[in-house]
Chain A
């Protein structure tokens, strides 16, 4: 099994682990009992590993419907006295925020670690919000690891601190740590309690106003205690000597440490791992004898502001450099180059930056595209044809959602006009239906449907929003790497589970015009959308066909290799296939002939239908 090494009991073993894999190992060394998540990159592999090993490790693990539910499940686990962990990408914490805030008030009995995976540079996200501020809003202790080894060790520490304080701990990672691979030395595996027991204490667990007032005071007291712990924690350590100070954390520490060492910079580096509450006593000690200090941190000037505020309050006379005086950027992830440029600028150094310049040649891009065989392509193609025929293609507002179908923004599909977050396809569609007289069509995947679309669809029914809602049901959570969801007959532990039927759900909330079609059947799909367009009021079309990558993997295993090609005698070079269907397997030769790349073709055969090639020129390649 792919993740067997995570369960290797041998202490001292060294493995080459991804940050996300190290997190799971750390939790298992800490006696984890319960874990929950909603998949989101860059945190996704934590869930993939747990999906594979949780049952064997005796841990309860679930893919929850959304991050808020995941947060509540884990909070209840911790309230029952068992060590619990919940994890999601940074924007997932926005979804979980309501529960997250109250968890700080009511506190925990068993340790609770909340992992946020931030995505500086937005490798796979809609924003690059800095979730360290969530620790401040909620008043929660926070840790920031810099490497897989640290992530593994710090998770154990986070559980300890959570239990000592009776508070959840925010564990803030970033893409470069989640997706960094490094040597991790194992400790002992510790078996968690299989079940907890909830001891009733309403004054503690129910934040009605009269209770909540006391809770807030207690929380502020606990944060004083937490600050003392942060100030004496070995996670906040000093390296090197010099008259210049550098305060840094997370991935930025790696670049600072390497640059300081490689270029022999005389600097005293304070590496912070326990970053909220800001360890003022530790920092005060560090600043002694320094005239200048530079803060190097990715994204927002969180530590820098804390430092500047502290210097002002305590009357510390020191030059502070960072983002707020323009030496370091406030956007995108850092690199060794960004750190060198910033140090050059802040300290007047002259560190060499950059490699050699190679002669400029224009090279083609490789933007992400819908895969060959993707059922979404067939859906977009069918809808485009119907709307063009009705002459409402350009007029229609297409709201989209988080998933592979954000790629619907690309030509020739262009069916992604508005996107905010998970579930916004449905909610924003309600708004556009009321705010304009334009036709409105929303798109969301099956996992996203369960995550956040249902309340918005109820809203649409109740408020009579005239819209078409399309569930692109590819039977998986595709973009994050094929995790199961409530519509599938498998749960987080890999056990058989009741699968919810999307059609029944939408009928159950009062939507009457509902159709389920196979998008691979273009003719039927077009007919369904024609009926939906003609229907007055809300209608739902569920286009159901499993993700092409799942089909491809199954076919490969079974030795099925279907391929299609263009019969040059029948092709009229109308280019409908290339220009409107636009599967990446099509290509044009220098004379203008159309061909199908056999390495890319996945044999779905949708392009061979007369609705794509009216001349029947696309044929299955016969095996010799």
Chain B
């Protein structure tokens, strides 16, 4: 089986690595091979965070350019930044809530309109948009936005793990007192993408 490639892109503090570790946990529980790169530079907070994952028969934890099955964008600009990982069959799931970098708020750079980013990605990929923050608020805790994204990912046709397996992994990977609210967030993300497809 060709390895299934996922590129997770967001900003430090959004829980990108927790989200990817939930998927990794589910893959291991199913008995699938999984490799992942989590590279973070000097920034303790607020910098770009990218995790690359391949599920299946792969040794390299870097998703080759063109071979991402999914780009899971936790933030619009960050989703756009990893577009070179996409190919002909890539789906982009993008949370449309921007996090404005400091360089923009002090007027040194500009943040492009989110519609423009979505438009450019739509020219090449299937794009599903949602507001992870909005759905997390609906679930009852803003900090569950990352698990909304995991639910959204799970709803994609072709994603190699099923809903129940993923929910088990959520239970294992989040602190016990937050399990319920995270499962709700997962459901909301899952439903949102199921509806869009």
Residues of A within 8 A of B (CB): 14-16, 18, 123-124, 146-147, 175-176, 179-183, 253-255, 257-258, 261-262, 335-337, 340, 352-359, 361-369, 371, 404, 406-407, 478-479, 549, 578-579, 582, 584, 586-588, 597, 600
Q: Is the CB of A366 within 8 A of B44?
A: no
Q: Is the CB of B84 within 8 A of A368?
A: no
A264 to B88, CA, bound (A): 21
Does any Cβ of A come within 8 Å of B11's Cβ?
A: yes
Leading 4 A-B pairs by shortest Cβ distance: A355-B66, A587-B105, A368-B43, A584-B102
A164 to B140, CA, bound (A): 60
A-B contact pairs, 13 of them (CB 8 A): A123-B39, A175-B39, A180-B36, A180-B37, A181-B21, A262-B2, A352-B66, A355-B85, A357-B124, A365-B103, A366-B48, A579-B106, A597-B100
Contact of B45 among A261, A262, A336, A371 (CB under 8 A): A371
Q: Is the CB of A361 within 8 A of B105?
A: no
Chain B 33-77, CB-CB to A under 8 Å as 1, else 0, gives 111111111111111100000000111111011111000000001
* CB proximity of B56 to chain A, nearest CB, Å: 11
Contact status of A358 and B120, CB under 8 A, knowing A257-B59, A353-B65, A371-B45: yes
Q: Is the CB of A364 within 8 A of B86?
A: no
Interface size class of B (residues with CB under 8 A): 35 or more
- Collect the chain A residues with CB atoms within 8 Å of residue B103's CB: 364-367
User: Which A residue sits closest to B12, measured CB to CB?
Assistant: A366
Contact status of A361 and B112, CB under 8 A, knowing A353-B65, A354-B66, A584-B102: yes
Residues of B within 8 A of A (CB): 2, 11, 21, 24-25, 27-28, 33-48, 57-62, 64-68, 77, 80-81, 83-88, 90, 100-107, 109-112, 116-117, 120-121, 123-125
Q: Is the CB of A366 within 8 A of B111?
A: no
Q: Is the CB of A123 within 8 A of B80?
A: no
* CB proximity of B69 to chain A, nearest CB, Å: 12
Contact status of A258 and B58, CB under 8 A, knowing A147-B35, A365-B109, A588-B106: yes
Q: Is the CB of A182 within 8 A of B36?
A: yes
- Collect the chain A residues with CB atoms within 8 Å of residue B121's CB: 358
Q: Is the CB of B109 within 8 A of A364?
A: yes
A53 to B48, CA, bound (A): 30
* CB proximity of B86 to chain A, nearest CB, Å: 5
- Collect the chain B residues with CB atoms within 8 Å of residue A18's CB: 38
Q: Is the CB of A363 within 8 A of B81?
A: yes
Q: Is the CB of B24 within 8 A of A369?
A: no
Contact status of A254 and B101, CB under 8 A, knowing A364-B109, A404-B44: no
- Collect the chain B residues with CB atoms within 8 Å of residue A365's CB: 101, 103, 109
* CB proximity of A363 to chain B, nearest CB, Å: 5
- Collect the chain B residues with CB atoms within 8 Å of residue A582's CB: 106
Contact status of A361 and B62, CB under 8 A, knowing A367-B103, A371-B46: no
